[in-house]
Amino acid sequence: MDLPESLDGRRVSLRHRVGERDGRPLHSDAVGELTLGADAVTVQTRRGPVRVRRDAVVAVRAVPPAVPRRPSWAVVARLEELCADAWPALVEQRMGAWRLRAAGGYTARANTALALGDPGMPVPDALDAVRAFAAAHGVPPRVTVPAGSPWDTAVGRAGWTIDVGHGAGAEVAVLVADLRTLDAGGAAVGQVRASVVEDHLHLAWLEVVPAARRRGLGTDLVAAAAAWGRGRGARFGVLQVALRNTGARALYASTGWTEHHRYRHLVPVR
């Protein structure tokens, strides 16, 4: 079958012959990104690559992109725990699967209760404990929850709502990357703060001096941090960026980071 060059790199549904039974051909279908070769084609499916000889192709057509799969809440919770370990608060208290944190008000991440499961008591009682902990450490009561999670729903039902007054933005995207895809370029002018927790490199801060911006130096800083992390055993990267920070999100997207999930800060209705 003649395969149009325009399908190279597109997501397709490809039917091909895989054998014969009782004199009749047997067919199979593969759905994924198509790579054209001289004698064969490859379809990168969710289960892995499928290589097909060109003369075995029966039909092929372009199909819409796959709907992204939402990660399990267990995976989300593990990633949030890694980020919390990489950005430790000055004071932390465990309450079941919740982490009560305070750091003198510096950053919302370090001054909030991270809710990732069962607090070991009814949620209204847990939220009373959050209020008491916050008051004892001189910070506003706030709960951080993965967006759309059961914990998000439970805290919302108790009357807590999005922290619209949070200056940096109360809704945050958690991005991930395979560090092997992030390669360094030239010298950079700026700073990046990173730490390695288990097999993840956590990027906590990235800044390029104003006079040197829009030259690709942010990309170089990210790549340099990735190389540093790989040298210390990290395989993956994770970072948190406010949804309203469109410039930073564009930079990370251009360097290979993809959204894993989102979280948001909730506060009591006063």
The domain total for the chain is: 3
Residue 75 maps to a domain: no
User: Last residue of some domain: 150, 171, 192?
Assistant: 171
Q: Mind listing the pLDDT tens digit for each residue in 259-268?
A: 999 999 999 9
Say if residue 160 is in the same domain as residue 177. no
pLDDT at 66: 73
Instruction: Please check whether residues 235 and 193 belong to one and the same domain.
Output: yes
Q: Are residues 147 and 186 in the same domain?
A: no
- Residues 55-83 have a mean pLDDT of 89
Pick from 28-32, 149-153, 242-246, 252-256: least confident: 252-256
How large is the average pLDDT for residues 243-251? 87
User: 68 in a domain, yes or no?
Assistant: no
Kindly indicate the confidence band of residue 213, based on its pLDDT and cuts at 50, 70 and 90: low
120 pLDDT above the threshold of 90: yes
- Does the pLDDT of residue 57 top 60, yes or no? yes
The domain that contains 197 carries what CATH number? 3.40.630.30
Q: Is the pLDDT of residue 64 over 50?
A: yes
Same domain, 157 and 106: yes
Q: Is residue 87 part of a domain?
A: yes
User: Could you tell me if residue 97 is inside a domain?
Assistant: yes
CATH number of the CATH domain containing 38: 2.30.30
Regarding whether 97 and 30 lie in a shared domain, the answer is no
Domain-embedded: residue 268: no
Within a domain: residue 74? no
| Segments forming the whole domain that contains residue 45 | 5-62
In angstroms, the CA 196 to CA 124 distance is 35
Does residue 256 fall inside a structural domain? yes
Mean pLDDT throughout 83-108?
94
